[in-house]
Amino acid sequence: MWALLSVSDKRGIVDFARGLLGLGFRLLATGGTHRALAEAGLPVTYISEFTGFPEILEGRVKTLHPKVHAGLLARPDQEAELRALGLERIGVLAVNLYPFRETVARGASYEEALEQVDIGGPAMLRAAAKNHMAVLPVCDPADYPAVLEALREGPSPEFRRALARKAFAHTARYDAAIAEWLSGEKFPEEKFLVLERVSPLRYGENPHQEAALYRVAGEEGPLLEARVLQGKAMSFNNYLDAEAAWNLVSEFAEPACVAVKHQNPCGVALGETPLEAYQKAYRADPVSIFGGIVAFNREVDGPTAEAMAEVFLEVVLAPGFSEEALRVFARKKNLRLLEVPTLAQGPYLDLRRIRGGVLLQDADTQDPMAPQVVTQRAPGEAEWRDLLFAWKVVKHVRSNAIVVAKEGMTLGIGVGQTNRYAAAKHALKTAKEGAKGAVLASDAFFPFDDVVRLAAEFGIAAIIQPGGSVRDKDSIQAADEAGMAMVFTGVRHFRH
């Protein structure tokens, strides 16, 4: 029986071919695969010798031949017809497709990318996958050892179905990439989202909900590349909170610490060291941090770990952990430590599910703000630093959102309120006396001047907000009356 090998990714192909020979298969191959096997000294027949028809059109047509497809598609009960026609069965097909995604990703021309659209490969894979009870379709080099073992013992129906499923998934994602490329649009008429399961999760947001973690094919993400250094497996909620914490801590060039609870920051601070940043973030809300997620944009050292060991936390994320820090955290066996290799940077598409549909948008990773002082008093140097710090934080808070901050530290955060005044009231009351001389950031404009007047009562020195309300003049007047500085950004950061 024949085994046909035609692979773009040649990892392990020689050893696989050698194993097939040992099991009594005869080898068929195309182009570069034939060359690789012949150079390894293996007996292999070129596809044109098998079909009796030469490759034509610069290799565009070589496997699209009845002898190939009859050998792949013949059912066991069609053996007599196959032999009557002088045709032979192909029992194993190893194919992986031209590197289309990789070609497009490196900026190839339209013509070059088009040449990487595989035709014969998908046709053969689909034929073998359809006839998987007679043919083993193999598209992943990682499966070669398992295929050889199955052939020695006799492939089970379950094993055959698993290979067929994988082959159809392989061709489906390949076609999806081509269709999206041809559209040339960010939001094409058809959007094919290919998801690869990374791991099942114990449960979803609540124990009665099933869940799993998936990777979007062709995309990378810091948390998906992270190493879990210790602790229990990450949960559904852990991933959501960790993503929120990492996105925010990645905003800062200075050493920063972010504490998150239910996808909202509860304490954010800058410091000269990770320890100082953590201590300030902890003081911002020592109650809410309990059972939360803490992220750093610098390596966590021993003193920082010692300070954190006094608090119950679910997850700590950082670019690295010193040996001393790892020894300290080892005392807390259930604490998850994630070493995250890259910051969260660059654009991506944000997906939100609704029943029967999906909303897609550019994720809010850019901030094309153009700060404009609109009051009689301009912010001082220290106020400017705090305003820009608070503005970065409020971008990551659920709307309606208000952030009160001073000296590179959040003092109060108003989260997810149904009116802006309530969000401001919560943030200011949390800040208490600390609000005096602090700054206030709002994710959207003030429809009335009530928030500005409330901020003045607490002693807020400066405000940053998008502007754009029909009543902006009222808010500006209230700020001037209180001697406050106010800055318009021209950018809104709603998070629903």
Active site residues: 130, 262
> CA-CA distance, 102 to 116, in Å (whole number)?
10
Query: What is the DSSP code string of 201-229?
Result: ES-SSSTTS-EEEEEETT---HHHH-EEE
> CA-CA distance, 279 to 410, in Å (whole number)?
12
Cβ neighbors of 334 (< 8 A, separation 6 or more) are 231, 232
Please give the helix or strand (H or E) that residue 379 lies within, else none: none
**Spatial contact of 261 and 294, defined as CB atoms under 8 Å apart:** no
> CA-CA distance, 431 to 415, in Å (whole number)?
14
In angstroms, the Cα distances linking 32 to 4, 14, 474 are 13, 12, 74
What is the Cα Rg of the chain in Å?
30
**Spatial contact of 360 and 349, defined as CB atoms under 8 Å apart:** yes
Residue with tokens 């013992």: 153
Q: Where are the beta strands (DSSP E) in 87-190?
A: 90-96, 136-138
The bridge status of strand 349-354 relative to strand 357-362 is antiparallel
Cβ neighbors of 64 (< 8 A, separation 6 or more) are 119, 120, 123
Please name which of 40, 147, 170 lies closest in space to residue 96, comparing C-alpha atoms: 170
